[in-house]
Amino acid sequence: MSRDRAGAARRPQPPIPSLPPLGEPSTLSAPSLLLTATLLFAGENSNPFNPGAGRMFRAWDKASGEVVWETELAGGVSSAPMTYMAGGRQYILLTVAGVGRSAAEWVALGLP
């Protein structure tokens, strides 16, 4: 077993998958997450290599684990969502892309 500079044993690491160039479809299908004080938002992503991926964007109550809101988008979430304030209202901003779409679109969702 090899050792690092500090003398600790190095563990074998699993191979890292080859990632496609930016803007190309991926077989990776991890959800995009956003945490607020009380909610967890997660967006599914869709791509041509993973027919099980979807187009839903959901909010879970962090305390109970229950889905408190969901919506179906025009495509899968293609970036991590972010939150911002404008005019005293909070918004969630994300990009949406889908199978056969040439470019991503920005989607802003207003919180009540």
> What is the residue whose two structure tokens read 């408190």?
68
Q: Which fold has domain 32-110?
A: Thrombin, subunit H (2.40.10)
Please, are residues 42 and 54 in contact by the beta-carbon 8 Å criterion?
no
- pTM, two decimals, is 0.64
Q: Tell me the domain boundaries of the chain.
A: 32-110
For 68-79, the pLDDT digits (tens) are 999 988 888 888
- List all residues 6 or more positions away from 46 whose beta carbon is below 8 Å from its beta carbon: 53, 54, 55, 75, 76, 98, 99
For 47-94, the pLDDT digits (tens) are 555 555 678 888 989 888 899 999 988 888 888 889 999 999 999 998
* Nearest-angstrom CA–CA distance, 105 and 50: 20
* Nearest-angstrom CA–CA distance, 57 and 60: 10
Beta strands in the chain (DSSP E): 32-35, 39-43, 56-61, 67-72, 76-77, 82-86, 89-97, 105-110
